[in-house]
A and B are shown apart, each in its own frame.
Chain A
Amino acid sequence: MKPTNNGARRGLAIPIVLTFVVVVMIFSIAIGKVRTASKFGNLITFHYLKANYMAQSGIQHAMMKIRVCPDEAFEAAARQFGLCPLNDGNTTPGTKNNGLMDAFMADLNSTSASNNIPAGWGYRVTKIETKAAVRKANQLVTLVEITCDGWADEGKGGLGVRHEIVTKTVSIFKKAG
């Protein structure tokens, strides 16, 4: 009879195979997770870009209206700040009133312009806040902060509608009269 060792090597095949299988499974799961996360990361970037440009569009829309209507924009900002837009040199705020600014913002949204953006996308200027307003001699000056909410529907990867908020501060200068 062939001599054997004390039996230490017997039954080694099963642990080796089991170890091999476990290691391969761990690798597979890890690779699958990394791959999914990486692809999803790019999809999230695309989604962000779409919503962000919608929000930037709202800022452009608001700035366009400020350019077209500097008098109305100044008066809305002045009243929101608490100044009388007709009172030269008065810099002490009185009673604040949002009425004019609400009217100014009423059509600062994606649906008020020609509807040539994809369904499920859009923007809305949610707030224009006056940080400063001065009327001095024939100069009208205001500093306003525009806040716009833009959204886009990705439609891929189970992602729904993403909202992006963009804020921009602009000055309004206007020579009166």
Chain B
Amino acid sequence: MIRRPAGMTLVEIMLAVFILALAILPIVDILSHSTGMSKKERTEAAAANFAAKTMNRYMYEVPWGSLGNESGGQTLGSDTGIVFQWTVAVSDAWPVGTAMSVKRVAYHAPCGGTCATFEDIPRRAPDQINPTFCSRCGNQILRTITLTFQWKGPSDADYDNVRKIVLVGRRAMLDEANQ
């Protein structure tokens, strides 16, 4: 009498693994929303980079005289479906008439570096301290830049507060070399 082999054959094990994989795959997909989630996170990462690039432009590259409220938008590449939009609000932070604290060394015969007597000068405004410099600045020497940056991915219908970052920085009038 021929006996059938006991236990499972290799082919049966392979079939079992294959069937298991087929059954798990849609479950994993449902659990993770894998495609949608990764796109969302990639869009967020791209937005962080682009927001920093946009903020750098307003902080360091746009000429001081051209700084002002404005808005813009851009599509990232031609096939990503990622779209950015931003608004920039510029407000006054330090008018040239706002006093700042300054002190100077009191006049004395030049010494070897031991002088410790300082003039307690009252707080003075920049346009009094350095009228030549301030005459080139307009009426502000420090401005606050508020960038509101929004993004949407290919599956997002519209911009909303979830996909938004606000960056705030202050920029000084440094366009010209100190003279």
Q: Which of B100, B141, B146, B173 has the most CB of A within 10 A?
A: B100
- A1-33 at interface with B (beta carbon < 8 Å): 5-6, 8-9, 16, 19-20, 23-24, 27-28, 31
When the two chains form their complex, are residues B170 and A61 in contact, meaning their CB atoms are under 8 A apart? yes
CA distance A74 to B110 in the complex (A): 15
When the two chains form their complex, are residues A67 and B173 in contact, meaning their CB atoms are under 8 A apart? yes
- B67-119 at interface with A (beta carbon < 8 Å): 91-94, 98, 100-105, 107-116, 118
Task: Identify whether the interface residues of A are mostly helix, strand, loop, or mixed.
Answer: helix
**B28 contacts across to A, CB distance below 8 A:** 24, 27, 31
**A106 contacts across to B, CB distance below 8 A:** 101
When the two chains form their complex, are residues A72 and B104 in contact, meaning their CB atoms are under 8 A apart? yes
CA distance A65 to B141 in the complex (A): 9
Binding site for A on B (CB under 8 A): 4, 6-8, 16, 20, 23-24, 27-28, 31-32, 34, 37-38, 41, 44-45, 48, 51-52, 55, 59, 91-94, 98, 100-105, 107-116, 118, 126, 129-130, 133-134, 141-142, 144, 146, 165-174, 178
- List 21 A–B pairs whose Cβ atoms lie within 8 Å, in order of A's numbering: A6-B6, A16-B16, A35-B37, A39-B44, A42-B41, A49-B48, A56-B169, A61-B142, A63-B174, A64-B141, A67-B133, A68-B134, A84-B111, A87-B113, A94-B112, A99-B116, A100-B105, A113-B93, A114-B91, A116-B146, A117-B170
Binding site for B on A (CB under 8 A): 5-6, 8-9, 16, 19-20, 23-24, 27-28, 31, 35, 38-39, 41-42, 45-46, 49-50, 53-54, 56-57, 60-61, 63-72, 75-76, 79, 82-88, 90, 92-95, 97, 99-100, 103-104, 106-107, 110, 112-114, 116-118, 121, 123, 172-174
